[in-house]
Amino acid sequence: MATHAAFMPGAVTEKQSVLVSWLTTVDHKRIGILYGTSAFTFFLIGGIEALIMRLQLAVPDNTVVSAQLFNELFTMHGTTMVFLAIMPMSAAFFNYMIPLMIGARDVAFPRLNALSYWIFLAGGLLLHASFVFGSVPDGGWFGYANLTTKQFSPGHSIDFWILGLQILGISSMLAGFNFIVTIINMRAPGMTLMRMPLFIWMSFVVQFLVVLAFPAITVGLILLMFDRFFGTLFYAPAAGGDPLLWQHLFWIFGHPEVYILILPAMGIVSEVLPTFARKPLFGAPVVIYSGIMIGFFGFGVWSHHMFSVGMGPVADSAFSIATMLIAVPTGVKILNWIATLWGGSIRFTSALYFALGFIAMFTMGGLSGVMHASPPVDLQQTDTYFVVAHFHYVLFGGSIFGLAAGAYYWWPKITGRVLDERLGKLHFWLMLIGFNVTFFPQHYLGLIGMPRRIYTYAPDLGWNFWNLVSSIGAFTIALSFLVFIVNVVKTMRAGAPAGPDPWDGRTLEWSIPSPPPVYNFAVVPAVQDRDDFWLQKYGDEHGGKPRKAPAPRPEDIAAIHMPPPSYWPILLAGGLLFMLAGALVSIYQVILGGLLTLFCMYRFALEYHRPRAGGGHHG
Amino acid sequence: MSAQAAEHAVHDPNLGITGLDHRKMGMWAFLGSECMFFGSLIGTYMSYKGKSLTGPTPHEIFNIPLTSVSAFVLLMSSVWMVLALNYLRLNNMRWAKFWILMTALFGAWFVGNQVYEFAEFVHEGLTLQTSLFGSTFFVLTGFHGAHVTGGVIWLLSLWALALMGKLGPEDYLKVEIAGLYWHFVDIVWIAIFTLVYLIP
Amino acid sequence: MSTARPSALAARTATLVLAVAILAAGCGWSGWDRPMTTVLPKSDFGHRINDLFLLISWWTLGIFIAVEAVLLYACWRFRERPGAATPKQVHGHTALEISWTVAFAVVLLIIGIPTIRIIFKTQEAPAATALRVDVAGRQWWWEFKYPELNITTANEVHIPAGQTVAFHLNAPDVIHSFWIPQLGGKRDVIPGRVNRIILTPDTPGEYPGQCAEYCGMSHANMRFRAIVHTKEDFEKWVAAQQAPPAEPAGELAQKGKELFAQSACVGCHTIRGVSGGVLGPDLTHFGSRKTFAAGTHRVTPENLVKWIENPDHMKPGVLMPNLGMKGEQSRALAAYLLSLK
């Protein structure tokens, strides 16, 4: 039950309807829930796209879908899973958990936070509006020029893709600025950088990757848009333009992007394992430094996605060495996670199962990645089902398993109820088995020559049986998510209530009620170490005694000022969507949308300028 | 300071544990991303330098004297920005307003020069579609010009707020942040001017 | 939970053992012998890659087994027991961290050094005696020119065993990728630049190839075949290709030739002595090929008729227009094409 201790005059009052309260929320917890439900919905859409593809590929020379539709499906499946499922699901956890885990009451810029969400939703809606207009993107999720130029992709499909991604880029970058400032500037007293939980560290690295990598794809997309709309020559070979310019710009973004996709899951696993092994993360500083190194060096390996383009032996060698180097901190992290379990007292909850699944599957994906790091070997593997297997092992076996672990782990904190453990384990086993049945055979298919992005294949190449097996696996994965949905519905109706600390956790979020009050912490905690909450409960082995945090007094709570709700984030996002969608319609819509956006920006910026009474406010 | 203001200062929601205001830190993070943005555009320009198949060459078409004046104008505008902040801190609103306006006007002068330059180039046969040089030049400098324009609008808005009595020394941070952005845009121009116009 | 755990762990251990068994058996397994396999190479380029692949595979397999085994063992050994005390709150072990970091670095050196060597070896310039084949990847077929031999053909590339071939790759339209899996790795075909693959095939045979970079609607249908001949057979093929096309035998084929020469076909196709179009495949010796439409259909009268009457139906998005040929017209054209041995 929310209490807003102080409202700005003229702002939205308590008499809001439920709908309006969600549309105008600036509470990081609600924004996290918005991200999570949206991301899961897009994940299901992307999953259905995958199921249709696997139906088509189950037998050779199949006619379930046309070539065009298949090409649209793999484009949208990739784009959706990367930008509309995994990234926003990570964002759901950033939003909900970062302030809780650093002992803060919200993020640095709550309205900007809401704005990021609504802009994300706008981007997702614009991309999917392409289905309504029969102009679905079909250039692949990495949209290589010059196939995506107007000459070879007439119509609006690629335009939807460009505009959708630009909008999503804005959303991610705004959130990046927000979380960087939050993590640096809003930690509870005593929480030095090295005392931050690992999830915070990995999220911190991710935000830097976002703000530094997205501009490259922003520029790449701008150049493509200018080629398509204004006839510039950036990707025009006939005028001396180089299609490889697109690949460089895309992968300078794209490689850090894959670390953006995996590091949050690594952060989650780094929280889940210690909790359920009842001992601290082994080598926490090493895991932190490994994360930093992966983020930093991740900017130096992008051309390992381009080993087949003919960069020459020197460039091939340089990127190969750099890629192999990154395998070291990655492997070190895996061993540290295992060492965390070693000597522990392991409780096998669903959350832990998913974390273990992450380690097992990500190890496999990482090892096939080491194979790809060798350019000669990669010349056989790239653009085949072998690399499809590799990236699904790291993105599904890695990210999705990790995010699932986070969902089961933090569900009690977010909703106040514990997800059913039996259904959770059923979900895990179905997902683990289904996932491996789907993707393990794809290594073999790649090694016997099956290229990727083909809507059908000949019956005499020996690919038939394992394609069928893979398709059956895909439906098993779908079944596992049905189990999850059943679990969610069951739990929301009549799930076991969770106290503040159902898992006997180690970090600050477990020290407050489930779900937390709107202000999170009645009293801002003072932190003395990493895993401070554990130490408060149990003391440490060097004579430190358990501490009890002081009970909150009513006057503490009354003195808390939480930022009030605001209309401007959703309105500004709407203006931005109207303006950018206008590129598909007419210049007048762009101009009108631009004016609307400018207007909303002014109102947003000036909303708390010169407040009339009671304290200036919030970002 | 009144008791209320004193209490407010203690509980300033925008002040972080590093002593830096959130908004200033946020601007620095934004400027970091802008480095990558302009870096990508400059990188594109450099990789296509000398590769055009047709059309006027940089050497043929650039008006270095005019562009040098423009560069100087933009540099001076950064000086005016420093003056504006200085007077704001001293609570001299008359001069603060003046120098904010001068910064904006010099920025507008720069953009005006650029518009004139673009029109001349088009007249002399260089457009977006003419060659790689045309495409890269106009997109790189055009996006820079758009950033300057955004800054001018921002500064004029601050000036208007000041005219309405709604900007004072207590808003120092907001003007400082605008200044950070303005100086950054100026530095990017120094890089562009050097790499695009001066280096053959 | 305590009853479920041991069986759960047993299940996962069993899965791991099974996986290991499958992988180990993989070496002698005939399941690798497929038309587009990458692990039974038939050229020097393919062998070099495969040797490196095997080296890396053994190491990664070993690491995989070790890591998964330790993971599973830790889960089993350190499962919570009733009444257990809180475990020792170990924070780390510096020597261990250093050791396994160094171990990983060493393994990567073992993989990396041969990698660099093979990169340079496989990208060396070809000997002057190499046979040059110019490959043009177009949406969605392959053109092969032999500049030294004055031969232009499409969708089937013939090369001699035991001689180095230098494929020069270019794309007039979008990015494609040239790949004959049994003969080695792929190389992208990129507008505005010329890439190269140098290889020496060792065994005569027919090896399917396929475009491996998404290039639009019918990317899946952009296949081709590489036919490796003995030296003698290759010379025979060259001679047959250099010879002018056979005169059509039979009335139907003769009708087809006349129809061809009068129709829009000549705007896109070359048949030496008859037409000079360059937008579509050279058809001079079409009848000598076993597949057409970029390796997607066998050359039979029925398939040819279907193609001529409705190319888009057999290859979505194909650039060859439907010229409205029907009935006897299409049969005549098919007969003519078949006669072009």
Residues in A touching C219 (Cβ below 8 Å)? 71, 453-454
**CA gap A158, A124 in Å, rounded:** 15
The pLDDT of residue A11 is above 80: no
pLDDT tens digit string along C36-72?
Answer: 999 999 999 999 999 999 999 999 999 999 999 999 9
> Which tokens sit at A619?
């970002």
> Model confidence at A214, in pLDDT bands (50, 70, 90)?
very high
Torsion angle, alpha carbons of A219, A221, A223, A226, to 10 = -130
- In b/e form, how buried is each residue of B154-192, taking b as 16+ CB within 10 angstroms? bbbbbbebbeeeebeeebbebbbbbbbbbebbbebbeeb
Spatial CA neighbour of A513 closest among A501, A525, A526, A529: A501
Chain A residue with Cα closest to B12: A616
Could you count the other beta carbons within 10 Å of the beta carbon of residue A591?
Answer: 12
pLDDT of res. A544: 76
Could you count the other beta carbons within 10 Å of the beta carbon of residue C172?
Answer: 15
Nearest CA-CA distance, residue B29 and chain A, Å:
6
> Model confidence at A343, in pLDDT bands (50, 70, 90)?
very high
> Model confidence at C5, in pLDDT bands (50, 70, 90)?
low
pLDDT of res. C247: 87
Nearest CA-CA distance, residue B4 and chain A, Å:
8
pLDDT of res. A541: 72
- Please indicate whether residue A111 is annotated as part of the active site: no
Is CATH 1.20.210.10 correct for A25-564?
yes
Q: A607 and A98 in contact (C-beta within 8 Å)?
A: no
The pLDDT of residue A87 is above 60: yes
pLDDT tens digit string along A417-476?
Answer: 999 999 999 999 999 999 999 999 999 999 999 999 999 999 999 999 999 999 999 999
> Model confidence at A292, in pLDDT bands (50, 70, 90)?
very high
Residue spans per domain, chain A: 1-24+565-619, 25-564
| Range in A1-15, B37-51, C252-266 with the lowest mean pLDDT | A1-15
Query: In chain C, what percentage of residues exceed pLDDT 90?
Result: 87
pLDDT of res. A432: 98
Complex ipTM value:
0.94
Contact A376 C115 (CB under 8 A): yes
Strands A417-418 and C270-271: unpaired
> Model confidence at A7, in pLDDT bands (50, 70, 90)?
very low
> Model confidence at A1, in pLDDT bands (50, 70, 90)?
very low
Nearest CA-CA distance, residue A450 and chain B, Å:
35
pLDDT, mean of residues A203-227: 98
pLDDT tens digit string along A388-406?
Answer: 999 999 999 999 999 999 9
**CA gap B35, A499 in Å, rounded:** 47
Chain B neighbors (3+ CB pairs < 8 Å): A
- Please indicate whether residue A257 is annotated as part of the active site: yes
Contact B36 A185 (CB under 8 A): no
The pLDDT of residue A618 is above 60: no
Q: Is C141 helix (H, G, I), strand (E, B) or coil?
A: strand
Claim: this prediction has a pTM higher than 0.90 = yes
Residues in A touching B132 (Cβ below 8 Å)? 233-234, 239-241
The pLDDT of residue C86 is above 80: yes
Average pLDDT of chain C to the nearest whole number: 92
pLDDT tens digit string along A247-272?
Answer: 999 999 999 999 999 999 999 999 99
What DSSP assignment string belongs to B146-186? HHHHHHHHHHHHHHHHHHTT---GGGHHHHHHHHHHHHHHH
Contact B16 A108 (CB under 8 A): yes
> Model confidence at A558, in pLDDT bands (50, 70, 90)?
confident
pLDDT, mean of residues C159-188: 97
| Range in A125-129, A183-187, A377-381, A540-544 with the lowest mean pLDDT | A540-544
pLDDT of res. C30: 82
Contact A108 B22 (CB under 8 A): yes
Out of A177, A212, A219, the one facing B44 most closely (by C-beta) is: A219
Contact B139 A222 (CB under 8 A): yes
Nearest CA-CA distance, residue B47 and chain A, Å:
9
C298 touches chain A (CB under 8 A): no
- In b/e form, how buried is each residue of C146-167, taking b as 16+ CB within 10 angstroms? beeeebbbbbbbbbbbeebbbb
- Please indicate whether residue A106 is annotated as part of the active site: yes
pLDDT of res. C19: 64
Task: Check residue C130 and report its DSSP letter.
Answer: P
Give the gyration radius of chain B's Cα atoms: 20
Q: B159 and B80 in contact (C-beta within 8 Å)?
A: no
A601 touches chain B (CB under 8 A): no
Name the β-bridge partners of C210.
C223
pLDDT of res. A156: 97
Residue spans per domain, chain B: 2-198
The pLDDT of residue B130 is above 50: yes
Residues in B touching A218 (Cβ below 8 Å)? 37, 40
pLDDT tens digit string along C222-241?
Answer: 999 999 999 999 999 999 99
- Phi/psi of residue C54, each to 5°? -65, -40
What DSSP assignment string belongs to C143-163? EEEETTTTEEEESEEEEETTS
Query: In chain A, what percentage of residues exceed pLDDT 70?
Result: 96
Contact B36 A213 (CB under 8 A): yes
Class of residue C239 by CB neighbours under 10 A (exposed 0-12, middle 13-18, buried 19+): exposed
- Catalytic residue, candidates A25, A79, A90, A172: A172
Average pLDDT of chain A to the nearest whole number: 94
pLDDT of res. A612: 54
- B-contacting residues in A 486-505 (Cβ below 8 Å): none
- Please indicate whether residue A270 is annotated as part of the active site: yes
Out of C38, C79, C190, the one facing A348 most closely (by C-beta) is: C79
B114 touches chain A (CB under 8 A): no
Chain A neighbors (3+ CB pairs < 8 Å): B, C
Give the gyration radius of chain C's Cα atoms: 28
pLDDT, mean of residues A278-293: 97
pLDDT, mean of residues A600-613: 85
| Range in A232-236, A549-553, B187-191, C286-290 with the lowest mean pLDDT | A549-553
Do chain B and C touch: 3 or more Cβ pairs under 8 angstroms? no
Domain covering B2-198, topology: Four Helix Bundle (Hemerythrin (Met), subunit A) (1.20.120)
pLDDT of res. C248: 87
pLDDT, mean of residues A123-144: 97
- Please indicate whether residue A455 is annotated as part of the active site: no
pLDDT tens digit string along A562-595?
Answer: 999 999 999 999 999 999 999 999 999 999 999 9
Average pLDDT of chain B to the nearest whole number: 94
Nearest CA-CA distance, residue C248 and chain A, Å:
32
C123 touches chain A (CB under 8 A): yes
Name the β-bridge partners of C141.
C138
pLDDT of res. A500: 96
Contact C97 A286 (CB under 8 A): yes
Do chain B and A touch: 3 or more Cβ pairs under 8 angstroms? yes
Out of B25, B41, B48, the one facing A219 most closely (by C-beta) is: B41
The pLDDT of residue A314 is above 80: yes
What DSSP assignment string belongs to A305-359? G-TTS---HHHHHHHHHHHHHHHHHHHHHHHHHHHHHTTS-B---HHHHHHHHHH
Query: In chain B, what percentage of residues exceed pLDDT 90?
Result: 92
pLDDT, mean of residues A358-368: 97
pLDDT, mean of residues A4-16: 46
pLDDT tens digit string along B61-75?
Answer: 999 999 999 999 999
The pLDDT of residue C35 is above 80: yes
pLDDT, mean of residues A141-145: 96
Q: C211 and C141 in contact (C-beta within 8 Å)?
A: no
**CA gap A436, A434 in Å, rounded:** 6
